[in-house]
């Protein structure tokens, strides 16, 4: 039995919950904030963040992407990162959703008063003082992730609506976002819906306008959901074309996420606390953070360590064509 310690309002908790459901493994969900073992779990995992996964042998793991990578090795018939070049594509799409699109959900939650009150109260579990502290933290998170100005708030919302439209169209053709079996990309998209945009009242109004997404979400989060073992020939859409949804996210990565990654990496080198880049046509300020750089290095390591030389050359040429070789390539 696995133990998932997190928050029902946490995107990354819900992402890992979706993964565990796709793997078909037994797990128990625990609210870490109110768990009597919270301090012990945080000490063992080395972080106060959520989620933390306790494995059957007692390991305490944090960080959803490497957790999914580990679980792929345990459940290869249900793996969520394809092997080879397609795995690189899936990893880049997942990373863009993780580290770029997630800022939109932070904006929706904390810049809309009704959503902020709703989410802060739910996270605090009825503790009014804690809810007030959480609500006060929210705008700081928005400033850190580039949505402080009204211009960038509207631009982020437009970006998310375009992503929803791409997903709605994709689900008319395939069962999942990269084909007819799930990947970590689906886990991330479901996590955002489950924790944020079909949960908080303001973005929920928008997502309800995409009926295929809503039905897909309901199907894959239903209490009676049953995972399946996927045959090796069950189709993911092939590399390099993949699906229109994947191509939409890769274009977003090249145009908007790439400048963020390069500037964040440079700020880390120089010890800068923050940096400013052009986003959607106007300057936006971001807090310099170590994790996006760590996530970027995971992708580079996948390319360096898991591909044979000919496949690595193919992936490198593909990254050059996309305009992403300087962030993810050799």
Sheet of 2-6: strand order equals 27-31, 2-6, 52-54, 60-62
| Three-state DSSP class for residue 5 | strand
- The predicted pLDDT at position 229 comes to 80
Q: CA nearest 277: which of 298, 255, 304, 251?
A: 255
Q: Give tens-digit pLDDT for 294-310.
A: 999 999 999 999 999 99
Which candidate, 19, 91, 62, places its Cα nearest to that of 305? 91
Q: How high is the pLDDT of residue 233?
A: 72
Tell me the pLDDT tens digit for each residue of 3-62. 999 999 999 999 999 999 999 999 999 999 999 999 999 999 999 999 999 999 999 999
Hunting for tokens 């375009």 — which residue is that? 162
Query: Distance between CA atoms of 16 and 36, rounded to whole angstroms?
Result: 22
**226, pLDDT greater than 90:** no
pLDDT at 234 over 90: no
How high is the pLDDT of residue 231? 74
d(CA 76, CA 61): 19
User: Residue 248's pLDDT is what?
Assistant: 98
Q: What is the 3-state secondary structure (H, E, C) of 174-235?
A: CCECCECCCCHHHHHHHHHHHHHHCCCHHHHHHHCCCHHHHHHHHHHHCCCCCCCCCCCCCC
Average pLDDT over residues 179-203: 98
At residue 209, the pLDDT reads 98
Which CATH number describes the domain made up of 2-78? Answer: 3.40.30.10
Summarize the confidence of residues 153-168 as an average pLDDT: 98
Q: What is the mean pLDDT of residues 66-71?
A: 98
How large is the angle between the packed helices 102-111 and 128-144, nearest 10 degrees? 130
Mean pLDDT, residues 95-123: 97
Residue 33: DSSP 8-state: G
Q: What is the pLDDT of residue 166?
A: 99
Provide DSSP, 262-325: HHHHHHHHHT-SEEEEEETTEEEEEE--HHHHHHHHHHHHHHHHHS-HHHHHHHHHHHHHHT-H
By CB neighbour count within 10 A (0-12 exposed, 13-18 middle, 19+ buried), where does 290 fall?
Answer: exposed
Q: What integer pLDDT is reported at residue 330 of this predicted model?
A: 87
Q: Indicate whether 126 pLDDT > 90.
A: no
In tens, the pLDDT along 140-151 reads 999 999 999 999
What's the mean per-residue pLDDT of the chain?
96
Determine the pLDDT at residue 230: 83
119 backbone dihedrals φ, ψ, rounded to 5°: -70, -45
Each domain of the chain, given as residue ranges in start order, spans 2-78, 84-328
Q: Are 264 and 99 in contact (CB under 8 A)?
A: no
Structure-token match 């894959």, residue found: 220
Q: Tell me which residue of 180, 178, 185 sits closest to 243, measured CA to CA.
A: 178
């Amino acid at each position: 039995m696995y133990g998932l310690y997190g928050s029902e309002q946490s995107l990354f908790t819900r992402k890992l919950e979706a993964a565990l459901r796709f793997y078909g493994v037994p797990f128990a969900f625990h609210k870490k904030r109110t768990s009597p073992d919270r301090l012990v779990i945080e000490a063992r995992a080395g972080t106060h963040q959520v989620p933390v996964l306790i494995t059957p042998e007692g390991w305490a793991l944090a960080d959803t992407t490497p957790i999914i990578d580990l679980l792929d090795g345990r459940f290869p018939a249900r793996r969520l990162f394809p092997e080879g070049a397609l795995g690189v594509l899936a990893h880049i799409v997942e990373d863009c959703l993780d580290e770029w699109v997630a800022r939109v959900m932070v904006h929706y939650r904390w810049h809309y008063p009704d959503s902020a009150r709703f989410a802060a109260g739910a996270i605090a579990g009825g503790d009014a003082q804690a809810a007030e502290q959480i609500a006060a933290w929210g705008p700081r998170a928005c400033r850190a992730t580039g949505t402080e100005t009204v211009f960038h708030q509207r631009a982020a919302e437009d970006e998310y609506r375009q992503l929803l439209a791409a997903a709605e169209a994709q689900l008319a053709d395939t069962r999942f976002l990269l084909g007819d079996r799930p990947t970590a990309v689906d886990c991330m998209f479901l996590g955002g819906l489950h924790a944020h945009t079909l949960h908080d009242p303001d973005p929920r109004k928008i997502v309800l306008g995409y009926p295929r997404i809503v039905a897909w979400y309901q199907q894959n989060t239903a209490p009676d959901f049953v995972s399946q073992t996927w045959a090796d020939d069950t189709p993911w859409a092939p590399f390099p074309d993949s699906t229109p949804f994947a191509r939409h996210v890769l274009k977003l990565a090249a145009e908007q996420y790439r400048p963020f990654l390069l500037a964040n990496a440079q700020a880390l080198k120089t010890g800068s606390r923050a940096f400013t880049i052009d986003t959607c046509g106007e300057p936006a300020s971001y807090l310099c953070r170590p994790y996006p750089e760590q996530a970027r290095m995971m992708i580079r390591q996948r390319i360096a360590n898991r591909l044979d030389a000919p496949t690595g050359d193919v992936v490198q040429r593909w990254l050059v064509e996309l305009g992403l070789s300087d962030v993810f390539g050799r």
